[in-house]
Structure formats: structure tokens, C-alpha cells
Amino acid sequence: MKAAMLREAHAHIAAHGREMGQLNLSDCASRDECLERLRAEAARLDAAAEPGWLLASAVRVSAWANSKDGAKWPTLYELDRACPNRACMVSSFDHHACVANSAAMAAGGFSASSADPEGGRIERDSSGEMTGLLIEAAFGAMRRAVPPLSAAERRRTVKAAADDLASHGFSEVHDLLSEPWLGPALSDLDKSGELAVSVWLYPPLGDVQQVAAGRQQWELPRVRLAGAKIFADGTLNSRTAWMLKPYADPLPGLERGQAMQSPRQLREAISLTDSLGLGLAVHAIGDAAVRAVLDAWEAHLVQSRGHQGTAAHPLRIEHAELIDPADIPRFAQLGVVCSVQPCHLLYDIEALTRGLPHRLDRVLPLRDLIRAGCKPGELLWFGSDTPIVRPHPQDSIQAAVHRRRIDGGPSIAPGQALTEAEAWAAFGLSQE
């Protein structure tokens, strides 16, 4: 049963629009194929004398495990040979890692003497040379080095993304990690009758006070500032999602992934957004990250004696791919929205079975959440995280109901499956 109106509870509108115009490598089957397609795209850009970087996205290295060259990123030197005449950056589908060529590394300020940034890593080979692979905060630094879009390009990009999301049946979209310019751009489109969806905005916590101070200049009934966003951990494919128990194949020194916020930082983020009358969305994929966020929220409620500002949904945890059984009932008890993207299961199966074979029963425990009081559409929301994965609601229905890919393969925690009606309800707009 499909809901009459759908809410896309986790999207990145500007990034979705940008990636619609980039080289998409989601269907690459190997490192060799990746390099060959980069070579062809670089040659096309050079022949057309097009300026700018070669940007490729949606690489899923974990899916290359069975290819002859294995699940290994291309190196900086391989990218130099494939794309010798311009900067080149190839991003992981989860937006937490990339590999770059020499020109891009130089543009990003990376050199042999560069230290790992806080919360990130510059991968090096056995001789200490940079491989071109950048993880978490290091990837963020590289992404900031990419030349920004012009105002006209931003408008076209945002409109294209909104139109595409509307084509999949969405009437409301939540943008998680909104650029400061996005609100005014969306407002301009809405005033001219060109905005196909209504939008909730969640800028990074570091920008939220500035964005809130100027909201009266652009906020409209269909374009609203809803809260801020922070990251409590990384991702499964990068092995940086923060776990209670070690990965079977961890990164050296990050056996249980990476915490990106201290308990104090989590409480401070909650207090700040509460003081502004806004909500807070926290990226938390691993069960340790989920617990840390719930702990911080519970401490805030105790300290503030239940005061929750004026936000309709003061706290939402994004992704929550693994949740410990002890933390399942805390979502409903504490009034926390569990905003999940079941479609990620279709992309993460290799990463899960290889890295967390001993924890598969805790992956997306949707049935347990509903039993504990998270009613679909109220405290259990579905989204896609586009452009991390495609924004087709049917993908999340497939994952939530069947717990496996449509063409078969392993079923992950089948006891946590939902009915189709429950899954569509999680996409439904609330009746507030």
C-alpha cells in the first residue's frame, strides 16, 4: 500500500543535483574498469576543451572483492596516468572517502609532509608515500578544494534535483547538511513557482547560528529551517562507523571504528539547537554511536527538566544501521526519531558480511523498533540519503520487506522484516 504523499526524510539536494552531471561509477565491477572509464572521460573532456576537474562519484570498492584486482582503490599514480591533464577526484558512494590524482592533491593542500587532519586520515603505503586515498575529514578537505558552482549553476542544479525527487513521488524533502546558500536558492525557486517539493533544511552545526540569523529573509511555508546536523561516526564501507564490538576486518588503529563527537560535544550541540528552538539530526551508523547520542539526549532532558525547545522533532538519529538490543526501547521512551534508509542494506551487504559477520542480527532492527513503540511515519522515518544511493522509494521497500536484493543473495536479519504497508507508512507525511 503506497502512501498518497511521500516524505524523503534524508537527502542532499545540491549534491544530488551535482552528481546528476558527474561521471557515475556505481555499476563499476573492478578497479580496472574504473580506471578505463576515467581514462575515456578524461579524453572526452580534453577533446572538447572543457575546463575544470574530472569528478567521478558513487564508487563502491567493497563490491569489487570478487574481481581479479580485489577490493582495492586505484592509486594516485594510476589516476595520474588515466587523467594526466586536469585534477581528478573519485568519491566513494558513501561520501566518506575519495581517491585523488596529483593535481587534485596539490589543489587540496596535501603534500608528503601533511599530517592527518583531526577526524580523518591520509592513507600512505609501506614506504610512507601518499596513495591518494583520503578518509573522513581528509576527504572533506579535498571536497572543499573543488571549484564552487556559480549562482546560476546552483539554481539549475537545485531545480534539477528537486524535479527529480518529485518524479519519484516525494512532496516533502529533508535536506541533511544544507549549504548556507541553499535556503535562499530554494526560496527563489518557490517564489517563481519552480520548486517541485517542500524542503526542511538542516545545515551543519557550525553554520546554524548564521543561517538562523538570516532565516527571515528567505524562509517560507514550503522552505523552512528545521535544525542542524552533526556526525557522531563514519560509515560501514569506510570501517569508521563506531561499534560496540570490533570489526572482523578493521582499519589499523580503528578496531571499532571512529567516534567523531565526544559526549560533551554531543550535549553542547543539543543545547545549542535547543536554545535556538531547532532540532538536531545526528549521523550515527554504528551501535556505539547510537548509544552515545541517546545518552547525550537523556542527560539533556534530565538537566533541562524535559524542556525541548520549540522544534517539532528536537532529536533525530540518522541511519542507525546497527542498534544494540538495550537501546531499542530508548527511542520511543525518549521521543527520538529513528530516521533510517533501508535501501543502504542493498549496497552494504558485502561490507556487512565481511566486516560484521557476528553482528548481522542487529542490522536495521525495524521490527524491534516498531514493537518498542516507534510507529512508522511518526518515530520511524524512511529516506534514501541520495546521492549516496538512488532516491527510489521502492529500493527501501525491497530492503525493509525482503531484507535482500531483488535478484536474490543473502537475507540480512530476516526476522526484522516489515510488511509492505508498514514500509510505505514510514515514507508517509506526518499529520501534524
pLDDT digits (tens, 9 = 90+) for 359-398: 999 999 999 999 999 999 999 999 999 998 899 999 999 9
3-class secondary-structure state, position 61: helix
Q: How confident is the model at residue 13 (pLDDT cuts 50, 70, 90)?
A: very high
Mean pLDDT score across all residues of the chain:
92
Q: Which pLDDT score is estimated for 430?
A: 44
Place of cell 522552505: 223
Longest pairwise C-alpha distance within the chain: 65
At 176-223, the pLDDT tens digits run 999 999 999 999 999 999 999 999 999 999 999 999 999 999 999 999
pTM of structure:
0.83
Nearest to 236 by CA among 251, 219, 217: 251
Residue 251 has pLDDT above 50, yes or no: yes
Cell of 29: 565491477
Residue 190 per-residue DSSP state: H
* Residues 378 and 335: beta-carbon distance below 8 Å: no
Residue 431 has pLDDT above 60, yes or no: no
Residue 2 has pLDDT above 60, yes or no: no
Q: Which pLDDT score is estimated for 191?
A: 97
Tell me the domains of the chain and their CATH numbers: 6-15+152-425 (3.20.20.140), 17-145 (3.10.310.70)
User: How much is the average pLDDT of 263-277?
Assistant: 96
At 49-99, the pLDDT tens digits run 999 999 998 888 877 866 666 678 999 999 999 999 999 999 988 778 899
* Residues 18 and 91: beta-carbon distance below 8 Å: no
Residue 389 per-residue DSSP state: S
At 16-26, the pLDDT tens digits run 998 888 898 98
Task: Give how far Cα 141 sits from Cα of 20, 24, 88, 137, 359, Å.
Answer: 22, 22, 15, 6, 32
Give dist(CA 247, CA 250) in Å, integer. 5
* Residues 389 and 343: beta-carbon distance below 8 Å: yes
Question: Could you give the percent of the chain with pLDDT greater than 70?
Answer: 96
Give dist(CA 118, CA 217) in Å, integer. 35
Q: How confident is the model at residue 175 (pLDDT cuts 50, 70, 90)?
A: very high
